[in-house]
Amino acid sequence: MEAAAEPGNLAGVRHIILVLSGKGGVGKSTISTELALALRHAGKKGKAVHQCDSGWVPVFVDQEQSISLMSVGFLLEKPDEAVVWRGPKKNALIKQFVSDVAWGQLDYLVVDTPPGTSDEHMAVVDALRPYSPLGALVVTTPQAVSVGDVRRELTFCKKVGLRVIGVVENMSGFVCPHCAECTNIFSRGGGEELARHAGVPFLGSVPLDPELTRSLEEGRDFIQGFPESPAFPALSCIAQKILNEAPVGLC
Amino acid sequence: MEEVPHDCPGVSSAQAGRGASCQGCPNQGICASGAGAAPDPAIEEIKERMKTVKHKILVLSGKGGVGKSTFSAHLAHGLAEDENTQVALLDIDICGPSIPKIMGLEGEQVHQSGSGWSPVFLEDNLGVMSVGFLLSSPDDAVIWRGPKKNGMIKQFLRDVDWGEVDYLIVDTPPGTSDEHLSAVQYLAAAHIDGAVIITTPQEVSLQDVRKEISFCHKVKLPIIGVVENMSSFTCPKCQESQIFPPTTGGAEVMCQDLKVPLLGKVPLDPRIGKSCDKGESFFAEVPDSPATLAYRSIIQRIQESCSLRQPKGENLVGS
C-alpha cells in the first residue's frame, strides 16, 4: 500500500526523473545537467521558484531562477574534503534532501545518482515513492563492459517498481574536429541492443564531444552555446521525448 | 574506523547505541550491547590468510568510469607474464562486478575446498575472485546495503584460499564508502603496500580523485601513485585530440599540488575497450600500441615501489 504523498516540500513538483546507471563514468551527471538545461530551453522559461523560510533553500543556477540545485557538494567546507560515510548516514542525508529542501513549484526534478544498486538507490526510491516519479533514465556507454553493469540496473528498476522511461547511450562515437572522421572509441550499438533485450524504449545516442566536457567544467550553458555540436540534436531529442511524456501544460 | 563525527557518537564510544542520535539507526542494538567495541575477529583471521600474500595493492578512484577495472586487469596480466610471479585479482565492486568480463571468465563458478574458496584461475599463476562468479545470470542485480556488501568483502578476504601470492590486486568501485572502508579496515593488520589511483584528465574527474587522496590520508593508506588514463586520443586519420580536456592541468598539476607521484599517462586507444569487451589482454592483442608501452612503464614503477616497501627479513620473489 503506498503512503499518501505528504504535503511536504515536494508537493509542488510535477515530474520527477531519476538518472541511473549500473556503471560509473557513463555520463549520468553530464546527462542530468544537459537534460535540465534542455528542459529549461524547450519548456517553460523563467518559471519562478518560491523561496521558503522553512527548509534548505536550493542553490539557483541563473538570475531567472529557472534551475536550482541541491548537492552534498554545497555542504562541504572544502572542495577536496572526502565524504567517508557508510550506508546509513548516506541514506539519512538523501531522506533530508527529499523532505527538507524547499523546492517550491517545479516542473521537473532531475535526480542524479551515483553508480550501483545500493544504499543511495534504495533510499532515494523509497523516499520518492509517495510522489510517483515519472521514471528512470538509464545511461550507458556502448561497450559490453558498460552494458554488463547496466543490465543489472534495469533489473533493480524492475524489482523496486521504478518505471524505465528509456535508455540513453552516451559517448556514442567521436567526430574528430579536424577531419570529421567518426571513430567509435567505446564501441557501438550496445545501448540500443540493451534496450531491446530489456524491452524498454531506446531514447537515443549522444556522441562524444570534448566541447561538451569543456563547457561543463567551465560552468557554461552547453545548450545555449553549442547548438552546432553533434551532441546537441541528440540531447534535444531526448529532452523532447521526456516533454512529450510529461508535458507541463499552459500556465 | 573513525567516522566523520556529526551525530553518530561512534561505534566504540561509551555512548554507542545510547545517544539521542542513535534512535532509528539500524545498528543501535549492536552498539548498545557493546559488541561494536570489540575488535572484529575476522581481522586476525584475515591477517593469517594474508601471510602468504607478499604485496597488496588497492586500485582506487573517487570517480567512476576512469578505467580502474581495465587497469587492475592489465596490471594483473602484466605481472603474470612472468611465470614465476603469482598474481591474484580480487574484485570488490559488489554492484557492478566488471572483472569477470574483462578477464574473459564470464560464466565461471567458484568452488569450495577444504582450505576455503578457490579462486578462478585464468592461468596457473593468475587467480581471480569476484561476486560476478556467484551470480547465476548476467541480469542479476546485487541490491545490497552496506553491511551485506561488507560481509561479502570480509568473506573474500578471509575465506578465499589464494595460496602463495606475490601480488594481490584489489579492484574497487568508485567512491569513498563501505567497500573502501571495509577493505582498509579488514586488511589493517595485514600491511597494504598502497593505493594506485586512477583518473582521467578533466577537472570533473580530478575533483573526485582529490577526495580519494584525502580518504587515503585519512585512513593512513600509502599512495603508490596516480595514473592518468584516457590522456589523449589519436584520430586514425589525422592527429591528436583531447577527448577529456585537462582544463585544470590534468593529473600532472594535481599530483604536483598534492605531492603524490604521477606513475604515467595512458592514451585512449579504442582497441582497449574492444579487448575488454572480448575478455582478452590488450597486451596480447596490440603489443605495440603507445597505450601498451605506457601501461608497461607504469607496471614497472609499481613493482619498484612495492619492492621498496618490502618488510624487513623477507626474501624478494619474482620481482
Interface with B, mutate which of A86, A140, A153 (most B CBs under 10 A): A86
Query: d(Cα B282, Cα B74) in Å, to the nearest integer?
Result: 8
Distance from CA of B133 to the nearest CA of A (A): 14
User: Which chain A residues have a beta carbon less than 8 Å from that of B215?
Assistant: 82, 84
The answer to whether residue B251 scores a pLDDT higher than 90 is yes
Tell which A residues from 107 to 166 touch B, by Cβ distance under 8 Å. 114-119, 121-122, 141, 143-145, 148-149, 151-156, 159-160
Long-range own/partner contacts, residues B108-117 (CB < 8 A, 24 or more apart): B108/B133, B109/B133, B110/B134, B113/B161, B115/B161, B116/B49, B116/B159, B116/B160, B116/B161, B117/B155, B117/B159, B117/B160, B117/B161
The pLDDT of residue B36 is 59
Residue-wise pLDDT for B121-138, tens only, equals 999 999 999 999 999 898
- Greater confidence, B300 or A56? B300
The answer to whether residue A54 scores a pLDDT higher than 90 is no
Confidence band for A43, pLDDT divided at 50, 70 and 90: low
Query: d(Cα B204, Cα B247) in Å, to the nearest integer?
Result: 9
CB of B271 within 8 Å of a chain A CB? The answer is: no
CB of B208 within 8 Å of a chain A CB? The answer is: no
CB of B204 within 8 Å of a chain A CB? The answer is: yes
Tell which A residues from 206 to 235 touch B, by Cβ distance under 8 Å. 208, 210, 213-214, 216-218
The pLDDT of residue A52 is 38
Can you point out the beta strands (E) in A21-170? 59-60, 68-69, 106-112, 135-140, 164-169
Q: What pTM did the predictor assign?
A: 0.85
User: Which chain B residues have a beta carbon less than 8 Å from that of A185?
Assistant: 233, 243, 268, 270, 273
Tell which A residues from 155 to 214 touch B, by Cβ distance under 8 Å. 155-156, 159-160, 174, 176-179, 181, 183-187, 208, 210, 213-214
What mean pLDDT do residues A183-192 have?
A: 85
The answer to whether residue B319 scores a pLDDT higher than 50 is no
CB of B71 within 8 Å of a chain A CB? The answer is: no
Q: Which residue has the cell 582506487?
A: B60
What mean pLDDT do residues A192-207 have?
A: 93
**Which of B141, B235, B276 is the closest to A178 by Cβ?**
B235
Question: Using CB atoms within 10 A of its CB, is residue A3 exposed (0-12), middle (13-18) or buried (19+)?
Answer: exposed
The pLDDT of residue B11 is 65
Confidence band for B314, pLDDT divided at 50, 70 and 90: very low
Q: Where are the domains of chain A?
A: 13-244
In this structure, are residues B182 and B79 in contact, taking their beta carbons and an 8 Å threshold? no
- Across the beta sheet with B87-91, what order do the strands follow? B120-123, B126-130, B87-91, B165-171, B53-60, B194-199, B223-228, B262-265
- Mean pLDDT in chain B? 87
The pLDDT of residue B176 is 86
Which residue from B minimizes the CA distance to A214? B245
CATH architecture observed for domain A13-244: 3-Layer(aba) Sandwich (3.40)
Q: For each of the domains in chain B, give its residue range(s) and CATH number, in order of start.
A: 7-38 (no CATH), 42-309 (3.40.50.300)
The answer to whether residue B3 scores a pLDDT higher than 60 is no
Confidence band for A208, pLDDT divided at 50, 70 and 90: confident
Lowest-pLDDT range, A203-207, B78-82, B232-236, B277-281?
A: B232-236
The answer to whether residue B267 scores a pLDDT higher than 90 is yes
Q: Angle formed by the axes of helices B250-258 and B203-218, to 10°?
A: 30
CB of B140 within 8 Å of a chain A CB? The answer is: yes
The pLDDT of residue B312 is 43
The answer to whether the CB atoms of B277 and A143 lie below 8 A apart is yes
The answer to whether residue B139 scores a pLDDT higher than 60 is yes
Which residue from B minimizes the CA distance to A119? B145
The pLDDT of residue A176 is 76
In this structure, are residues B87 and B79 in contact, taking their beta carbons and an 8 Å threshold? yes
The pLDDT of residue A67 is 79
Lowest-pLDDT range, A81-85, A174-178, B207-211?
A: A174-178
**Which of B98, B235, B268 is the closest to A148 by Cβ?**
B98
Can you point out the beta strands (E) in chain B? 53-60, 87-91, 111-113, 116-118, 120-123, 126-130, 165-171, 194-199, 223-228, 233-234, 240-241, 262-265
User: Which chain A residues have a beta carbon less than 8 Å from that of B26?
Assistant: 88
Tell which A residues from 34 to 73 touch B, by Cβ distance under 8 Å. none
- Is B25 part of any known ligand binding site? yes
CB of B141 within 8 Å of a chain A CB? The answer is: yes
Q: Which residue has the cell 531562477?
A: A65
Element (H or E) spanning B301, and its range? Answer: helix B290-308
ipTM score for this prediction: 0.82
CB of B21 within 8 Å of a chain A CB? The answer is: no
SS3 assignment, position A183: strand
Query: d(Cα A120, Cα A141) in Å, to the nearest integer?
Result: 22
The pLDDT of residue A98 is 86
Residue-wise pLDDT for B182-220, tens only, equals 999 999 889 899 999 999 999 989 999 999 999 999 999
CB of A88 within 8 Å of a chain B CB? The answer is: yes
The pLDDT of residue B247 is 85
- Is B56 part of any known ligand binding site? no
Q: Which residue has the cell 552516451?
A: A170
The pLDDT of residue B193 is 94
Can you point out the beta strands (E) in A32-87? 59-60, 68-69
Element (H or E) spanning B186, and its range? Answer: helix B178-186
- Is B116 part of any known ligand binding site? no
CB of B10 within 8 Å of a chain A CB? The answer is: no
CB of B95 within 8 Å of a chain A CB? The answer is: yes
The answer to whether the CB atoms of A25 and B175 lie below 8 A apart is no
